[in-house]
Chain A
Amino acid sequence: MGFWQNVLKIVQDYWPNLLMACRTTLLVSLLGTACGFLIGLLIGGLRAIRLDFTASKASRILKRIFDAFAGLYITIFRGTPMMVQAVFIYYALLNIIHWSNIQAAVFVISVNTGAYMAEIIRSGIQAVDNGQIEAARSLGMSNAQTLKEVVLPQAIRNAFPAIGNELIVNIKDSSVLMIISISELMFSARSIAGTTFRFTEVYFIEACIYLFLTSVAALLLNWVEKRVNGSGLSLPQSDTDPTNMKLSRTAEQKGGNRDYDARQHS
C-alpha cells in the first residue's frame, strides 16, 4: 500500500480519536491563552504603573515588593521549558490538591503564557503616548482611572498581534503537555503510531492538523484585529499572519528581546 492510502486508512480508523485529541488541544490552548491573558493584564498592568510623588509611602513599598515577585515569576517561567514546568508542577502539587492531569495542563499553560503576556502587555503599555497619560492626570483622573480608560485600551490594541501570536504558539506548544499524559494531539498521535507502526503517516496527519488549526486561528485573529483597530487606520503589520508564523516562542522572544533587557535595567 502507498503512503496516501495508509494516510486515508488511518484517518478512517482513528478519526474519532483524532477529533477528541483536537478538542483537548484546543481546549487547553484556548483556556490557557485566555487565563494567561488575564494574568498578564494584571501583572503587566501593575508592573507598568509609575508612581509619581502623589503616591503614598505604603503604596510605594507594596509596589517594590510586587515588582520583585513579578520579575521573579517572569524570569522563571520564561527561562525554563514548559515541558519541565508541566512535569514539575503536576507532580509537585499532585499530593496536595489531587488534581487531574487536564487541570494541571490548563494551569501550567496559563501561568506559562501569563509570564509572556505580562511582558507583552507591559511593552504595549510603554508604547502608549505619555502625553495622553499626562492629559488624563491633568484632568483629575486617578492612576487607576487613567489605566482603565486610556492606557489599557490602547495597550491591548498595540499588543494585539503579539497576544494573538501567543494563541498560535500555545496550539503548537501544548504538544509538550503529552508529558503529563493528557490526550491532546501529540499524545494520541504517539499512541496511534504505536499501534499501527505507521510513524510517517501518523505524524504527517498530525502535522496537517496542527497546520490547519493554526491557520484557522491566524485567519480569525486577523479578522478580529481589523475590528479592534477599526476605522481603517494603518497599524503595524500583524504577527499573526499565517505566512509569518513563528516557529517557537523561545526562538522568537529570547534573542533580541527588549523587554528582557529593560527589566534588567529597571
Chain B
Amino acid sequence: MTLVSIRDIHKRFGSLEVLKGVDFDVQEGEVVCLLGRSGSGKSTLLRCINLLEKPDSGEIRVFGEDILNTKDVNAYRAKVGMCFQQFNLFSNMNVLHNCTVPQQRVLKRSRAEAEEKARYYLQKVGMQDFLQADVRMISGGQKQRVAIARALCMDPKLMLFDEPTSALDPEMVGEVLNVMKQLAEDGLTMVVVTHEMGFARNVADRIVFMDDGVIVEDCPPSEFFENPTKEVTRQFLRHYLEN
C-alpha cells in the first residue's frame, strides 16, 4: 500500500528554488534513505511531508489524505513522527515527561496510559534507567534515543529522520543506528535523510538520491551503490569513498 505519494512539488525560499518538481512515493513498511549533497533539498522535502514547510505547488497524499488541504494539521502531524539532527528534547522536562506530555495533550491519553507507553518505548531504545534524568545532562546518543522514543509514543504510522546521527560524536552513532535498524526490522515505515552510507546500504529498501532540488536516482541500494547510472551519483559516491 502506498503511504506517501508526492506529485510535482515545488518550494522556493525567496529567490532560491529548493524543490523543483519532486515526485516521491513511500510504500507501507518500506525504509527509504534520502541521500544527496548539502543543500540539495533533502530536509525541505522531509519537512514538507509533515507540513513544517508548505510547498508552493504540487500534491502530497499521506495515508490517502490530501494533507495540503487537511482541516486538522495537528491531528495529521501526530500520525507522523519526526527526529531532528539537534534532538530538540524539551529542556524544561525530564526524560519521562518528554515522552508523556505530548501524548497527554495531543492524544488525550491518561497519565497512566502515557507513562506505560513511555516506559515501553524508553525500554526499547535502552533508556529505561533514565526516566527522571534531566535531558540537558545526558549524552547526545542518549538524547537522540529519547527523541526517537518520544516520537514512537505517539504511535506514528510513518517516521521521518533528518540526519539523526550528524550531530553525534562518532562513538555514539552506532547506538542510534542500532535502534533505527531495530525499528526497520519491526516493519515501521521510515524515511531517513542520512550520510551514513553503511546504514543506507544495509538497512534501506530503497535509495532516493536528490541533487539540486530534483530526484535523480530512485533504486534499491545494491543498484545505487554498485551500478550508479548518473554522473552526479558517481561523483557523490566517490566523495564518500575518499573519506
Contact = CB atoms under 8 A, between A and B. Distances in A.
Report if A and B associate in a common complex: yes
Interface of A: 53-54, 129, 131-132, 134-142, 145, 149-150, 153-154, 157, 230-231, 233
Contacts, number: 72
Contact of A139 (B54, B87, B134, B151): B151
A140 B102 contact: yes
16 contacts: A131-B87, A132-B90, A132-B91, A134-B88, A135-B90, A138-B50, A138-B81, A139-B106, A140-B74, A140-B106, A141-B102, A145-B105, A145-B106, A149-B90, A230-B134, A233-B134
B84 A135 contact: yes
A77 B102 CA distance: 39
Contacts of B50: 138
Interface in B138-181: 147, 150-151, 154
B75 interface: yes
A139 B150 contact: yes
Contacts of B54: 53
Given A138-B52, A140-B106, A141-B106, A153 B92 contact: yes
10 closest A-B pairs by CB: A140-B78, A135-B88, A131-B88, A138-B82, A139-B102, A140-B106, A153-B92, A140-B77, A54-B73, A140-B74
Nearest to A54: B73
A142 B84 contact: no
Contact of B134 (A132, A135, A231): A231
Contacts of B88: 129, 131-132, 134-135
Contacts of B91: 129, 132, 154
Interface of B: 50-52, 54, 73-82, 84, 86-92, 101-102, 105-107, 134, 136-137, 147, 150-151, 154
A134 B92 contact: no
Contacts of B78: 139-140
A149 B90 CA distance: 9
B92 A140 contact: no
A233 B92 CA distance: 12
Nearest to A53: B54
Nearest to B50: A138
Contacts of B150: 139
A139 B151 CA distance: 7
Contacts of B107: 140
Listed residue (B76, B77, B87, B154) with the most chain A CB atoms within 10 angstroms of its CB: B77
